[in-house]
Structure 1
Amino acid sequence: MSVSVISEITFRLSRHHRSSSRARAVLHAVLGDWGAGQELVETAELVLSELVTNALRVPAPSDRQVGIRIAHSVLGGLLRLEVSDAGDGCPEIQRPAAEDTHGRGLQIVDALTHNWGVSPRPGGIGKTVWADLKAPELVPVPRTREAAAVTVTKGQSVRVGEQWRAVRSVVTERYATGGLAVVLGLDEGPPLRVPAATALAVRGWGEAREVER
């Protein structure tokens, strides 16, 4: 069954214990930009955190990153969260004993989502674990809009002062404190470096990109 995507963002995170919190921060910014309510934001953050945590526990080379995709589709009003890793095997719901401290991640995902599953990783080894949440309140993004800097992609335009500048490149960096900064290379003038959650005026749809190289 085909799904018509109206908004999406893709990025990658290193295999680091802080990657779950970074993924939640990006998701929070994206859903805020898309007009999500607090209940959906909290549920989506919990689901994504569990998926990323599971991906980080999978045995894989340390230089292999974890891929993440956040998409909102017209069909059924669904928010899809995808996490890809280079590990083998297929995750299954576990039934841990009461005293066990691990093994409940997919139980949580199964309880909170409309549907979830596992697919082969496109164009590479490993797999993609995906989860759909019902999100009828999300609406298409207007042509000119306020967007979190982390959602801006190459090919879009941003307003700098009173001028619109085309985005030629996007690089995500980390502050010493662990937060994310976005550096936008523009068609004119110096690069624009701002915190990831900074609201910018944006036009156009741009291209999917990677974050946290």
Structure 2
Amino acid sequence: MAESSSSNEVTFRLSRSRRSVPRSRAVLHAVLGCWGVNQEVLDSAELVLSELVTNALRVRVPSGRQVGVRIARSLEDGLLRLEVSDAGSGRPEVRAPGDEEAGGRGLLLVEALAHRWGVQERAGGIGKTVWAELKAPDIVAGPVGKEIAAAMVRPGQQVRVWGEWRAVVSVCSEQCDVDDLAVVLGLDEGPALRVRASDPLAVRQCEDV
């Protein structure tokens, strides 16, 4: 379930389901498209995020705990940062599995693709956050064109719906029954708008605030 977004980061939560891996990739793909990231970085980021989310889903945690995801960019450093948090104990370690072992190579892939990565305790909570940073020198300062992914829309912007511009007063999200997340936009007039997180929406006032 997505929680919040700004011009430089998106955070959301995922249920402990096998569908959460493709859901996280769908949101990442939409966000990085808005940020102008090239295909090579996008492909690497999708692989890294998939591995981090997969590992988090395998951790034993108390019942009802979700997996947290944060996608952020640093324009000054040209870096893309991916964070995945879970309520489990322990720290993941890079393994060197044998040729006949089917698994155990996830963090090897993360280490190979990321500029750097690490693990830190969650501030004010139980569990840990595994993060990875990728170099993204072409990351842009704002959305490309007039369309951005629904996951990037935030209160204070205007979206064009039903042939008119409507102000966004609230943003929340929920799981779809398919491999994606849904974003629900509360508008100043008319009913709320429910769309897929990866769907493009025409927006105004997209500059940083």
Bin of the TM-score, shorter chain as denominator length? 0.7 to 0.9
Structure 2 stretches lacking a partner, 5+ long: 1-5
User: Matched residues in 1 for 2:182 and 2:143: separation?
Assistant: 25
Give distance in 1, aligned partners of 2:94 and 2:153: 36
The worse-fitting range, judged by mean Cα deviation, of 22-31 and 176-185 is 176-185
Counterpart of 1:26?
Answer: 27
Instruction: Tell me: CA distance 1:133–1:154, structure 2 relative to 1, closer, same or farther (3 Å).
Output: same
Indicate if the aligned counterparts of 1:154 and 1:206 stay in contact, CA closer than 8 A: no
CA–CA separation in structure 2 for the residues paired with 1:179 and 1:8: 19
Q: 1:81, 1:180 → 2: CA distance?
A: 18
Deviation at 1:201, TM superposition (A): 2.2
CA distance in 1, matches of 2:177, 2:120: 36
Following TM superposition, by how much is the alpha carbon of 1:49 offset from its aligned partner in structure 2, in angstroms?
0.2
CA shift in 2, pair 1:144/1:36, >3 Å:
closer
SS at match of 2:189: coil
- Contact 2:35/2:143 (8 A) holds in 1: no
Partner of 1:9: 10
Name the amino acid aligned to 1:40: V
* 1:93 aligned residue: 94
Give the AA of the match of 2:108.
Answer: Q
Aligned with 2:77: secondary structure? helix
Matched, 1:117 2:118: yes
Q: Match for residue 173 of structure 1?
A: 174
**Residue aligning to 2:75:** 74
Matches within 5 A, 1:16-165: 16-141=17-142, 145-161=146-162, 163-165=164-166
User: How far did 1:164 drift?
Assistant: 3.2
CA distance in 1, matches of 2:50, 2:197: 19
Q: Is the 8 A contact 2:97 2:105 kept in 1?
A: yes
TM-score, length of structure 2 as denominator length: 0.88
Task: Pick closer, same or farther for the CA change 1:157–1:174 going to 2, 3 Å.
Answer: same
| Preserved contact between residue 156 and residue 206 of structure 1 (Cα < 8 Å) | no
CA drift at 1:28: 0.6
CA shift, 1:188, in A, is 1.2
Provide the secondary structure at the position in 2 that maps to 1:75.
Answer: coil
Q: Is the 8 A contact 1:170 1:184 kept in 2?
A: yes
TM-score (norm 1): 0.86
- Count residues in correspondence: 203
Aligned-partner Cα distance in 2 for 1:14–1:175: 11
The separation in 2 between residues aligned to 1:52 and 1:77, in whole angstroms, is 23
C-alpha spacing 1:206/1:35, structure 2 compared with 1 (3 Å): closer
Which residue identity does 1:7 align to in structure 2?
N
Q: Would you say the 8 A contact 2:80–2:135 is kept in 1?
A: yes
Paired-residue identity, %: 62
Deviation at 1:6, TM superposition (A): 5.8
Return the offset for 1:206: 8.9
CA RMSD of aligned residues (A): 2.3
Output the CA distance in 1 between the equivalents of 2:65 and 2:100. Answer: 32
Cα deviations across residues 4-30 of structure 1 (Å, max 9, x unaligned)? x96110000011111111101110111
